[in-house]
Structure 1
Amino acid sequence: MSEAYRIIGTARFGGILVVSDHASNRVPDDIDLGIDPSLLDQHIAVDIGVGAIGERMAARPGIAAFQANASRLVCDVNREPHAPAVIPIASDGHAIPGNALDHVGHQARLERFHAPYHAALADLLDSAPPALILSLHSFTPHLATSDRPRPWQVGVLYNQDDRAARIAIPLLEAEGLIVGDQQPYSGKVLNYTMNRHAEADGRPYLGIEIRQDQIGDAAGQAKWAERLAAICNEVALKLGE
């Protein structure tokens, strides 16, 4: 484990790797974001539920989890290093005054979190190429800055490579779920980690966004871990045919 990432379980050739860019709400002791600490339990700081789901999935044979080990408010590793939101100065209507950094401070934050996260993920994928990457995120049922409803219980996101998505969507729908195809937002817009580590190298991946009220407690997390393990195995098998 490092302060930028952690690996749970053992990554295996031909297995499944669960990647969660926003799994943690941890803020290192030497970083002061200047916000109310209660915000660290909200969606602006962490993808609620996905860390626990990744842990549960990684307890199964053939599945490992690679998770960010710092809050997205410290450094959002699913943004391009030059993007303004990589170290956000505001999120969903909340100012993050501790992120108003000068150039030196900004670069130091990237070198401390963003660069090692992506270097470690690249090494892991090269050393144990999976049959499928599950890019796992969660989304809030309602943004404070928007009146638009988010009825989808789960979304499937992708950029150019929709191989896994086309297999997974009907499997999720067969579970009786309201499934968003490129909802609640498009994977063509916010897909940096998978663009870099999957699409760029032709590695198949499945981008999943679960609505946070589905996975806010242990029972929901256990249910979704079981569901996703089964679906990912089926997707991987079909991709290999």
Structure 2
Amino acid sequence: MMIDNLPYRQVGTDDLRAGGLLCVADHASNFVPEDIELGIDPALLDQHIAVDIGVEGIADRLARRHNIPAHIACVSRLVCDFHRTEDDPAVVPTESDGRLIAGNIGANIEARLERFHRPYHDALSKLISKVQPRMIVALHSFTPKMKTSDEDRPWEVSLLYNQDDRAARHAIRLFGEQGLTVGDNEPYSGKELNATMDRHAEAAGIPYCTVEIRQDQIANEAGQARWAVMLADVMGRVALEV
């Protein structure tokens, strides 16, 4: 849900010390405001097309238990996708993994950008200026199999990047040492979709890791707690290397 009509919330941002880690979760919520009708079966709001399953719980844990402040989306990606540029047609999607989002056809894109996208990114920019993070952790999750594909996705975790791969290289190695199957720019490439980190990290020269965790790993609280501990450890060690 949205608090004070804001499309984001920030956790662990009081009494910050500069130079630490910062977590960003663009797709953490499946919330749809009452005045927006997506025209879909409400059950779809609990699936990957609407939300990165498990991410909100991990981001909260990182902030509250591991001292990694978090900027967390409070609106479903089907309402407005914060991980897209403003001119990307999918910023207000009319289709996702073979599902028609009928209510978004003909939607007022500018109104969605002004209400959700711009406040989200403006607040993130201000938080980054305040925190001056040593590294940003962009947290996402992916479905084990897309509805529109027969291919399984074998990676338990993946690292995505565009031009700046210095942090991702360390993270790939460290996750591999945990015995995990680690993807390198899988299941999609950060060279094709990296909007938030392109804007807030690469453009500013800030090292970052875009971490994609397979959703069956973090579908319950036990999995989220396990991954929060592992992320805090691995990301902390990566930050010392970049």
Whether 2:113 is the aligned partner of 1:110: answer yes
Instruction: Give a deviation string over 1:5-40, Cα, whole Å, max 9, x none.
Output: 110112531111110100000001111111111000
SS of residue in 2 equivalent to 1:34: coil
Instruction: Give a deviation string over 1:128-165, Cα, whole Å, max 9, x none.
Output: 11111000000000000011221000010000001101
What's the counterpart of residue 100 of structure 1? 105
Q: Kindly report which structure 2 residues correspond to 1:35-46, keeping only aligned pairs within 5 A, or say none.
A: 35-46=40-51
Q: Kindly report which structure 2 residues correspond to 1:191-206, keeping only aligned pairs within 5 A, or say none.
A: 191-206=194-209
User: 1:227 is matched with which residue: 230, 234, 240?
Assistant: 230
Q: Kindly report which structure 2 residues correspond to 1:1-241, keeping only aligned pairs within 5 A, or say none.
A: 1=3, 2-10=5-13, 11-60=16-65, 62-102=67-107, 105-239=108-242
Check the 8 A contact 1:12/1:62 in 2, yes or no.
no
Q: Return the TM-score normalized by structure 1.
A: 0.96
Give the partner amino acid of 1:80.
Answer: T
Q: 1:34 to 1:161 in 2, by over 3 A?
A: same
SS of residue in 2 equivalent to 1:164: helix
SS of residue in 1 equivalent to 2:37: coil
CA distance in structure 1 between the aligned counterparts of 2:211 and 2:239, rounded to whole angstroms: 15
Q: Runs of 5+ in structure 2 lacking a partner? A: none
Give the partner amino acid of 1:28.
Answer: P
- Once structures 1 and 2 are overlaid, which stretch shifts more, 8-17 or 171-180? 8-17
SS of residue in 2 equivalent to 1:117: helix
Q: Runs of 5+ in structure 1 lacking a partner? A: none
The number of equivalent residue pairs is 237
CA distance in structure 2 between the aligned counterparts of 1:12 and 1:226, rounded to whole angstroms: 21
CA distance in structure 2 between the aligned counterparts of 1:222 and 1:60, rounded to whole angstroms: 10
Q: Return the TM-score normalized by structure 2.
A: 0.95
Check the 8 A contact 2:6/2:119 in 1, yes or no.
no
SS of residue in 1 equivalent to 2:69: strand
Percent identity (aligned): 59
Shift of 1:100: 1.1
The Cα RMSD (Å) is 1.1
Once superposed, which parts of structure 1, at least 4 consecutive aligned residues long, lie more than 4 Å away? none
CA distance in structure 2 between the aligned counterparts of 1:179 and 1:189, rounded to whole angstroms: 19
CA distance in structure 2 between the aligned counterparts of 1:87 and 1:193, rounded to whole angstroms: 16
